[in-house]
Each structure stands twice: as C-alpha cells, then as structure tokens.
Amino acid sequence: QQQVKQSPQSLIVQKGGISIINCAYENTAFDYFPWYQQFPGKGPALLIAIRPDVSEKKEGRFTISFNKSAKQFSLHIMDSQPGDSATYFCAASTQSGSARQLTFGSGTQLTVLP
C-alpha cells in the first residue's frame, strides 16, 4: 500500500535550471512532510521539511510548496547544480507515541548536467 506517490522517477535538468519533484499523499493524518537527499553509497539525509499549516518553506535554493486541499507537495530546486545530482525522497509522517513513523515516496533520481 503506497501512501505517498512520488513523480517523476527520474529527472534530467541542465545546470541553472529548475528541478521540480512532486508528491501526493492519501492519509489526512500525516502532519509532517520532510524531503531527504541521498547520494550514492550514503544514507538519506534530511534536506528540508514542512508542516501543513504553511503553504511554502524556503531554505536557500530549495523550496517546498504544500497544497493541503489537494494533498500534494513538491520540492523545487532553483539554479540546479551538478552537485545536486542525487536521489530525492519525499516522506510523510504522523506522530505515533513519541516517535514519528515515516512513509517514503519511491524516490526521484535527479541528474543535473554541467
């Protein structure tokens, strides 16, 4: 049961371009939406996260846009650089006790061409 659907599966962008990755969720109990970045041979690392009480969050070149009514959120990478080439995972979570259980999207492999 895939509760978080991520697209596209792969993305190729020219240096300086905008990379956009989209996610959609079903469970309205989700209340925290992080994005993870993973380089080859490494574990995922938190990139940026948003809560549903705001529609946008920006950190440097990375922006999350959130549409609560549509149950969709997206990651925008402005001025994409070759160093941004990685796999990106969206996730959604709910509080379970004192822990957050993450449900991940299937991942997007981003390639930024020099």
Partner 1 sequence: DAGITQSPRYKITETGRQVTLMCHQTWSHSYMFWYRQDLGHGLRLIYYSAAADITDKGEVPDGYVVSRSKTENFPLTLESATRSQTSVYFCASRADTQYFGPGTRLTVL
Residues that bind partner 1 (CB under 8 A): 4, 6, 9, 34, 36, 41-46, 49, 89, 97-102, 104-107
Shortest Å distance, C-beta 12 to partner 1: 18
Q: Which residue has the tokens 């190729």?
A: 12
Residue whose structure tokens are 């969050």: 57
Nearer to partner 1, 17 or 102 (CB): 102
DSSP letter at 83 equals G
For partner 1, the closer of residues 17 and 32 by Cβ is 32
- Smallest gap, in angstroms, from Cβ of residue 88 to partner 1? 11
Q: 8 preceded by cis ω (within 30°)? A: yes
In whole angstroms, the minimum distance from the beta carbon of 67 to partner 1 comes to 21
User: What are the phi and psi torsion angles at 68 (to 5°)?
Assistant: -65, -40
- Considering the complex, state which of residue 77 and residue 92 has its C-beta at the smaller distance from partner 1: 92
The answer to whether 30 touches 94, Cβ cutoff 8 Å, is: yes
